[in-house]
Structure 1
Amino acid sequence: MSSTSRGLGAQLDDLEKSLEQALELVRTTPRDDLTAVDWLETAAKLGGFLSDARDASADVRQTLLGGARSALLLYLRGHVAETVPPHALEGVSGIREWARRIRELRAVGWDINCLGSGSSAPYRLDDAQLAEEVAQSQRIIDSIKGAKPKERIIEYLLHLCPWPAAPKQLEQVAGVPTWRQEIRDLVDEGWLILSHEDDSALPPGFYRLAKIED
């Protein structure tokens, strides 16, 4: 997906700077006569740079597609039936609490399984989509908590895909009467959201996010 946000370039610059600082710290760490105490001080500084990098990555994610849960859902739906390591999910989400977001996705019906025990156990999304009655349930709508209308709309469409979203539900999710403009903005940003004009099988006023693999 693309973004017209003026802040995206600055966010990527922040990410690059943090990673460069981490790399420079490692490069300048002496290879000879390194003591445990010296390494602890270095590791503490390294942790700060990596934390900054995670925050900058989360900012990019927020600009491009909204919350961590949307990012995880989009990523897993693009890797259905594949084993996904936890570090990939942390990277995608940009937050330490990514496992909580996975539990929230499970709670609304997504079949996401942890394949083992311990912090290194991988995950797998086994079903490519929700059943239509689950996807269009009020439970899904109630679970969406994005800060902005666009964020809430895209998460809702990600849950529904490939099922269509009705105007009433979209307005409820968006929480604003200008939800149609929000959808147009998302289309301008690169999201493949179809209307009746794009797909005659859709009832007028309904919208559908095209298949994730499209």
Structure 2
Amino acid sequence: MARRSKRDTPESLRVELINLLSKFEEKLLDENLREQVKGLVPANHLLRDLGSSLIKDDGASSARDRILSYLRKYTGTLLVGDELMVVAGISEYARRIRELRVEMGWPILAGKAIKDMLAEGEVIENISDASKIKTDTYFLVQDQQDKEAAFRWNLANEIRKKKISVKDKIISYLRENVGKEINGEELKYLANDKSEWARRVRELRTEDGWPVATRQSGRPELKVGVYILEEDRQAAVHDRKIPDPIRVETLERDNFSCKVCDWNYSKRRPEDKVRNLLELHHIEHHASGGKNVLNNLITLCNMCHDEVHRGNISSQELKELISVG
């Protein structure tokens, strides 16, 4: 059985470690390899004890608790695995991180998922150089536990085993979780950890017309690495090709609100089952030659969008709404 770290006051452990290393000089002079190795075992134990004792939380008695305490203290900061190994006091820290993510629902991104997201144009504050991100880098997205995560991971495991494409696995999973915040690690797992997962998510949004929202694609209130399928339906074929930069520029111009009724995501209510997302509408229909440009696009909630297509709101009225700012 692996030895558990014994926590004590950091200063007393530091002094004990210094004394032990001072005496180790005798082992070096003796030149007996096995005695040298055996002499360092207590030092190794003491160093782990010292690292785990740096976490002051009374409830952080286990390695997993200490890792979580450290992650929560530095939410939104890239942390190197060696840091977590030190505070954990054990070498198997990666398994504890997986437990925190899968069993307890803490939104922890690992280096591989972060690199995949950056490669597909996602913007993460204070992270620009993907080449410096290693596999054993970790990032707690937000200091909030997701109570439904364990159930979702079981579902992800079932879908992962199906003999269908990565894109089909991802959209199947998202459709099972409409309106819920999905972590990038969940989608990476569905793709059997293949880096293509982030590209497939972008294709689902930009080519296939599924309303998959991210912070980068027009939902600035979302955290980094979070994906939401806003509604279980695809956009019409002619509305699927709006480039993300134009989409975001339109949303910014319209203050991320419906230009007809002023509804936005901050006004979303769980009991409102009808009005639940923002969509972009071509004033001159794309199918009729309307272009994907700012002055031909307007932000509408899904209810007002339906009213436009029923003919209850004219194109002239929409043009006037975007002309007055």
Whether TM exceeds 0.5 here: the answer is no
Structure with the larger helix share: 1
Q: Report the TM-score range of the alignment, normalised by the length of the smaller protein.
A: 0.3 to 0.5
Higher radius of gyration, 1 or 2: 2
Could you say which structure has the greater relative contact order, defined with CA pairs below 8 angstroms and 6 or more residues apart? Answer: 1
- TM-score (structure 2 length as normaliser): 0.30
